[in-house]
């Protein structure tokens, strides 16, 4: 659910995270372990981006086409960022985001730029991997991880 507008970025902010799993008995949503880990990774990635001078424009921007974890702006470019979080480093960067996931991100980014009338900005597709826990983690920012068409 999108609810705040960041006028300096000219984009929408989503203060919440993805919905969790609903407990059928009492209808109270709860997050899976994997979703909690993902939320932690996204928060750590956003904090990292801010420390690097990025302005966070949107978090968990979601449409019927797909979702983008973080949209951030620095200077004259906008980065559409997929965040992958793992407790241990047991995967190769090439396996982090599949070709089909890349295509969904690209389509969602195109929709985002049309919706927000974004022109004259360089668009970039990045991946941030977060390995570890909230207290002990390593962040790897892969700039221009893939290219849109």
pLDDT score at 1: 33
What's the 3-state SS for the chain? CCCEEECCCCEEECCCCCCCEECCCCCCEECCHHHHHHHHHHHHHHHHHHHCCCEEEEEEEECCCCEEEEEEEECCEEEEEEEEEECCCCCCHHHCCCHHHHHHHHHHHHHHHHHCCCCCCEEEEEEEEEEECCCCEEEEEEEEEECCC
The CATH number of residue 113's host domain is 3.40.1350.10
pLDDT score at 31: 73
Number of domains in the chain: 1
Q: What is the pLDDT tens value at each position of the chain, 149 positions in all?
A: 333 335 456 554 444 434 333 334 545 466 787 778 778 889 999 999 999 999 999 999 999 999 999 999 999 999 999 999 887 776 665 567 888 999 999 999 999 999 999 988 999 999 999 988 778 888 999 999 998 76
The answer to whether residue 79 is domain-embedded is: yes
The answer to whether residue 21 is domain-embedded is: no
Q: What pTM value is reported for the model?
A: 0.78
pLDDT score at 82: 95
pLDDT score at 66: 93
The answer to whether residue 67 is domain-embedded is: yes
The answer to whether residue 55 is domain-embedded is: no
pLDDT score at 29: 60
The answer to whether residue 42 is domain-embedded is: no
The answer to whether residue 13 is domain-embedded is: no
The answer to whether residue 38 is domain-embedded is: no
Q: Which domain holds residue 123?
A: 61-149
């Amino acid at each position: 659910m999108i609810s705040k507008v960041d006028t300096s970025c000219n984009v929408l902010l989503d203060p919440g995270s993805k919905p969790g799993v609903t407990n059928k008995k009492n209808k109270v949503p709860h997050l899976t372990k994997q979703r909690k880990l993902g939320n932690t990774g996204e928060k750590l990635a956003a904090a990292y981006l801010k420390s690097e001078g990025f302005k966070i424009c949107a978090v968990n921007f979601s449409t019927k086409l797909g979702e983008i974890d973080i949209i951030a702006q620095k200077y004259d470019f906008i980065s559409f960022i997929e965040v992958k979080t793992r407790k241990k480093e047991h995967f190769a960067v090439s396996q982090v985001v599949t070709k089909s996931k890349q295509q969904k991100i690209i389509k969602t980014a195109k929709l985002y730029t049309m919706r927000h009338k974004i022109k004259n900005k360089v668009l970039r597709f990045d991946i941030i991997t977060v390995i570890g826990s909230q207290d002990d983690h390593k962040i790897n920012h892969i700039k221009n991880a893939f290219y849109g068409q």
